[in-house]
């Protein structure tokens, strides 16, 4: 369960403090699929970084599965991320010199799991995203949609419960974008909590619920935007 209460975050620019999030309140229940919709610069990525424990707010409470995140050290944040959260970005962030298989395997090398289990997870997740026949391909030998599918397999291999997707279809043609959305909806049906950030209403509409960000403020009504 994700609960944000009165979250404020600003960035320092020279002498000025520019507000990026202003009194943000959000509750996401387990197994929910929520999309966060807003124009460029509205604070979506800032919000995702906080939800994903990549950054902490200036003030306000963030409670994730009963724990206060605001008081966590860097190491604790990193541990929470590793256990609970999977990120899907607009840029696929694959390592260019590694094959699809190796890209998915990479984060698992830091987990205490046996080589057999590791192999099983890599194969199962690549199969799940429809890439069982591309395991030896490097990112440059894959289409954008296929690269994003490798990135999703890499997330799934770590078995997160919450998946945060920041403009996951932003770099894709519409057909590949639809494929990626089908995969994301499948992950939701499998029981994951999904938070999807987008500026595309057609993408956002596929979630159970939409919330809107405008100038760092969150609203569940579009009219406020």
Applying CB under 6 A, the residues found at the interface with ligand ADP are 11, 13, 20, 38, 40-46
Q: Which is nearer to Mg ion, 30 or 41 (CB)?
A: 41
CB of 220 to ligand ADP, least distance (A): 17
Residue 174, binding choice from ligand ADP, Mg ion, none, Cβ under 5 to 8 Å by partner class: none
DSSP for 67-118 reads EESTT--HHHHHHHHHHHEEEEESS----TTS-HHHHHHGGGGGS---HHHH
Distance CA 127, CA 157 (A): 11
Q: Would you count residue 45 as binding Mg ion (CB under 5 A)?
A: yes
Residue 136, binding choice from Mg ion, ligand ADP, none, Cβ under 5 to 8 Å by partner class: none
Distance CA 45, CA 129 (A): 25
CB 51 within 8 A of CB 194: no
Bridge partners (DSSP) of residue 85 are: 162
Q: Which is nearer to ligand ADP, 13 or 175 (CB)?
A: 13
Q: Which is nearer to ligand ADP, 45 or 99 (CB)?
A: 45
| Paired tokens of 123 | 């194969």
Residue 42, binding choice from ligand ADP, Mg ion, none, Cβ under 5 to 8 Å by partner class: ligand ADP
CB of 13 to ligand ADP, least distance (A): 6
What does the binding site for Mg ion look like in residue numbers (CB under 5 A)? 44-45
């Amino acid at each position: 369960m994700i609960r944000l209460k009165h979250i404020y975050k600003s960035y320092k620019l020279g002498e000025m403090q520019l507000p990026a999030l202003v009194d943000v309140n959000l509750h996401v229940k387990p197994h929910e699929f929520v999309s966060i919709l807003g124009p460029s610069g509205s604070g979506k990525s800032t919000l995702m970084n906080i939800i994903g424990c990549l950054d902490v707010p200036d003030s306000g409470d963030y409670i994730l599965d009963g724990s206060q995140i605001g008081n966590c050290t860097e190491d604790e944040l990193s541990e929470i991320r590793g256990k609970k959260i999977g990120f899907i970005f607009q840029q696929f962030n694959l390592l260019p010199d590694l094959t699809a298989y190796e890209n998915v395997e990479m984060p698992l090398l830091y987990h205490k799991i046996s080589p057999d289990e590791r192999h099983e997870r890599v194969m199962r997740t690549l199969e799940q995203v429809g890439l069982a026949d591309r395991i030896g391909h490097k990112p440059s030998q894959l289409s954008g949609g296929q690269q994003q599918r490798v990135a999703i397999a890499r997330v799934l291999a770590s078995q997160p419960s919450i998946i945060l997707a920041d403009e996951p279809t932003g770099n894709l043609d519409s057909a590949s974008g639809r494929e990626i959305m089908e995969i994301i909806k499948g992950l939701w049906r499998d029981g994951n909590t999904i938070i999807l950030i987008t500026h595309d209403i057609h993408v956002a509409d596929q979630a159970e619920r939409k919330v809107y960000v405008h100038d760092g403020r969150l609203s569940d009504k579009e009219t406020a935007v």
